[in-house]
Homo-oligomer: A and B are copies of this chain.
């Protein structure tokens, strides 16, 4: 997969960018408000996806730019929570992928016929 990225930042730098912004605007909110922000933004992402993909969507002119915006807002809100708990998103992601790989591997081991071509 190839992304045309102008912004070739590391995940850690992404977290620092958010941290710097938050530091300049009063600091992180309390935990449950950061969570509420994640759900607010994810709700807007949901609304946008319905406009693009939903049964009654006007599919001739999907607004992908607005979808990108909502994805960015959710990412920002998630980084806030991660930053407040000093969680490295890069490490968290790697661990999640490892977990999923292990889960799949065990599934294949158990039902080997499914993994064969």
Chain A positions within 8 Å of B, measured between CB atoms, are 1, 3-12, 14-21, 25-26, 29-33, 35-47, 49-50, 52-56, 64, 67-69, 71-76, 78-79, 81-83, 85-97, 99-101, 104
Contact = CB atoms under 8 A, between A and B. Distances in A.
B81 A21 contact: no
Given A7-B88, A11-B14, A40-B43, A72 B50 contact: no
**Chain copies in the assembled complex:** 4
A72 to B, nearest CB: 3
Contacts of A4: 88
A75 to B, nearest CB: 5
Given A75-B93, A78-B78, A95-B72, A3 B15 contact: yes
Contacts of A7: 11, 88, 90-91, 93-94
A69 B102 CA distance: 15
A110 to B, nearest CB: 15
